[in-house]
Chains A and B, each alone.
Chain A
Amino acid sequence: MSNVSKIEKQAALIREISGVNPYKCMKCGKCSATCPAFDEMDIKPHQFVSYVQEGNIAALAESKSLWKCLSCFACVERCPRDVKPAKLIDAARQIVEREKGGDYLMADEIPTLLDPELPQQLLVSAFRRYRR
């Protein structure tokens, strides 16, 4: 597959997995203004939408933002155009995790991360978000 067609395919896949139409975005920036993880993100939520529009998928796949989104749905709730940036971020994360070696959390790491109060809910949530 040529590089161009792979990029086009991945951009289409992000739109399909997310079920979101990024072209509806009117660049108001409300998603980034409301994001509690904004400071930690290299590609901000409103920029993330532009990257998908432009098909710049390689940059998204490398982005730290994939692992900083909290799934708090503040951007989903407050987007006036129903673009739902969290769903686009999740779709990009899925594309990375569905490739071999794309997991962000390894089972071997778990023992070092535990403490006596840590709830099971935290482990199952992290496993589901960070790996296949």
Chain B
Amino acid sequence: MEQQSVTSTIKGKRVITKKPELLAPAGNLEKLKVAVHYGADAVFIGGRDFGLRSNADNFSTEEMAEGVAFAAKYGSHIYVTTNIFAHNENMDGLGEYLQDLERVGVKGIIVADPLIIETCKQVAPKLEVHLSTQQSLSNWQAINFWKQEGLDRVVLAREVGLEEMLEMKRNVDIEIETFIHGAMCISYSGRCVLSNHMTARDSNRGGCCQSCRWDYFLYEETNTSSNQETALFDQEDAPFAMSPKDLNLIEAIPKLVEAGIDSLKVEGRMKSIHYVATVVSVYRKVIDAYCADPDHFEIDPEWLRELAKCANRPTAPAFFENTPGHEEQMFRTHSQKTTFDFAGVVLGYDEETKIVTLQQRNHFRPGDRIEFFGPEIENYMQVVGEIWDEDGKELDAARHPLQIVRFKVEKPVNPDNMMRKEVQS
């Protein structure tokens, strides 16, 4: 099959003409707005039902409508995850729900269960249907099956590498979406029921309690009547844990763009607005820089440092090049101390007095080193001086969540810019 070219040459300079979508997660309306404002081309969200993160805030129909309208101002789109594997008892209300999504202008749904795919085609035909990674789609013939079923896009299994993606693109003409950043199942998605067994919470209906990240101990057992057990670890060894490092494909973006992948997806509907803002703005810069001038592109080390500021765990490229070994997994360190904490959101800035008005999101005090960032400003670091409350009363610290505070910032910042503070680890 003829593959669509992603590039063309203008006045002797190669540019990328097929720019992939940058798809960001949002657990609530505030996060959605941040994702769009910081550069996401599309945002995926969950509704009250049929999605896989029952612990996330999730959106009411009214909130979805507001999200769609907000995104439209930026030319962005909203997709809704409806990717449970439904049980009989979950069928009620599905049709009405999908019609609601269509009515409020959601662009598409992300689905795993044919029940939901077929129902959507019947009752809400304007919605695009994207196959969820829960189907663990790993080969091009299976993709072809779903294309024939009328799906608009497929999200690949997390186990698919670059060479496989290229072969898929060569063989099937359908939009392909793949994960580029965030936490991942270490199992094939949809093929893990640890949570069901260990806590009676159904992982494939949004109840996953992440049993894979708990500690276990590996033994060898003889298959005799006495069943003798030998520990396969020493006293000082780490316990057995299945936890993978988080995915990070920032350095692979050029290859993904050249491969013609249609949508690059960031995981994390449960993550903070700081996380969403940081990750989206970094990938926005990488994609834009590469597409503008692919032949002179280099990774800016600043982008890597920026991504690390919101990392929860060490990161790795997972299956992108090869089946991951122990280096791409994590056993000893269960969490990496973040070097920065999200501390506030800018509400306004007075150019004359150089005073910022900020909504507090985490404790900070005079003397803390802080950094402002946003989609349209250069990162800017300074030390906090005097802090005042709304009435001008001096504070020894900004310690109340969502409190409005003011202090001096030498460089101009804009509403919706974010502030993080350095933490000593």
A binds B: no
